[in-house]
Amino acid sequence: MSLSESKLRILIGKAGLDGHDRGAKVVARALRDAGFEVIYTGLHQTPEAIVNTAIQEDVDAIGISLMSGAHMTIMPKIQNLLKEKNAGDIVVFLGGIIPDDDIKTLKQQGVAEIFTPGTSTQHIIDWIKANISKKTFPA
């Protein structure tokens, strides 16, 4: 399999004290079934652990699931850590209960897309296929 044919690698993370992981597991399974390589971090991960895992696993994207209301603290932390570690090319998307006003702010801060409750897994898959490409490295 050539690099261009290899699967997108996507990390699905649950950050902070949020214990609601059903949605993250549903999305992770749907992405895997759609042909993506999926790494699921499990519950109660720190932004540092998520970013470190993403770098170690050489992922193309990070999908964060947040239902706790801590999105305005956790997402900027993840974005800043990625930049500090020269991994700003990793696309970050978010799912959860996010107020409309916060969606605008988070997108301005670099979150590529935000999926709210009721979004179909097919919509998420289609968005990933349209907006995330395999990382390429200089020869």
**Distance (Å, whole) CA 21 – CA 129:** 24
If one compares 136 and 97, the residue with the highest pLDDT of the two is: 97
Record the pTM: 0.92
* For range 116-120, the mean pLDDT: 95
pLDDT at 138 over 70: no
Domains parsed from the chain with CATH numbers: 3-131 (3.40.50.280)
* pLDDT at site 56: 97
* For range 79-97, the mean pLDDT: 97
The gap between the terminal CA atoms of the chain, to the nearest Å, is: 17
Residue (of 21, 13, 23) closest to 47 by Cα position: 13
Counting residues of the chain whose pLDDT is more than 70, the rounded percentage is 94
